[in-house]
């Protein structure tokens, strides 16, 4: 199959199959590649392009062929992984629900603290960690984006 016919979804499916067969975790792959865990996971799921040298390393670790490796370097159509809005997956829906409930408050607090602008999702870091808690382990998600002021020049 040539890369002109190979889709990013095809490569994502191959990545996930290889990861499963090799019994690898996203965290272990991130460590081996020296990349942030969340960024690497998103990239392997088709949301970011890899630099050619990183794509080649992913290909080696997962046993991908040359055409699949090339597709890993292509700029993706981001946010296209779900055909439904709101998402139907319970985990993703809860994150959507968080933004529905707290999004307006976060917007107001950002404007109060920083002024008229937005938090970048391009100049951005994201982390997920597990925190032990007596009432049950907690999920901590950290969003860390550069503030971008609106320019009205």
Asked if the 90-149 domain carries CATH number 3.30.1160.10, the reply is yes
Span 63-91, average pLDDT:
87
Q: Of 80, 82, 120, 149, which one is the catalytic site residue?
A: 120
What are the phi and psi torsion angles at 75 (to 5°)? -70, 125
pLDDT higher at 86 or 51: 51
Cβ neighbours of residue 73 closer than 8 Å, sequence gap 6 or more: 49, 50, 51, 52, 55
3 given a catalytic annotation: no
Strands (E), the chain: 117-131, 138-149
97 given a catalytic annotation: yes
Span 80-104, average pLDDT:
85
The whole-number pLDDT of residue 2 equals 46
**Contact (CB, 8 A) for 142 and 126:** yes
Q: Of 31, 78, 80, 97, which one is the catalytic site residue?
A: 97
Locate all alpha helices (DSSP H) within 22-89, ordered by sequence. Answer: 26-33, 37-44, 52-62, 66-72
Please write the tens of the pLDDT for every residue from 26-70: 999 999 999 999 999 999 999 999 999 999 999 999 999 999 999
Q: Specify the CATH class of 8-72 in words.
A: mainly alpha
What are the phi and psi torsion angles at 78 (to 5°)? -75, 150
pLDDT reading at 125 higher than 50: yes
28 given a catalytic annotation: no
Q: For the chain, which residues make up each domain, given as ranges?
A: 8-72, 90-149
Q: pTM higher than 0.75 for the full model?
A: yes
Span 105-114, average pLDDT:
95
Q: Of 78, 80, 82, 94, which one is the catalytic site residue?
A: 94
The whole-number pLDDT of residue 4 equals 61
């Amino acid at each position: 199959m040539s890369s002109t016919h190979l889709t990013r979804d095809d490569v994502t499916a191959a990545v996930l199959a290889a990861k499963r067969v090799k019994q690898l975790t996203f965290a272990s792959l991130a460590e081996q590649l020296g990349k942030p865990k969340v960024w690497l996971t998103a990239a392997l799921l088709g949301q970011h392009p890899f630099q050619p040298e990183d794509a080649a390393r992913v290909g080696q670790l997962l046993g991908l062929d040359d055409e699949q490796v090339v597709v890993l370097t292509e700029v993706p159509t981001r946010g296209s992984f779900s055909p439904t809005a709101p998402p139907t997956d319970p985990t993703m829906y809860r994150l959507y629900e968080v933004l529905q409930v707290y999004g307006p408050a976060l917007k107001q607090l950002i404007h109060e603290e920083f002024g008229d602008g937005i938090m970048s999702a391009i100049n951005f870091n994201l982390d997920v960690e597990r925190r032990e808690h007596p009432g049950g382990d907690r999920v901590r998600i950290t969003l860390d984006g550069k503030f971008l002021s609106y320019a009205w020049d």
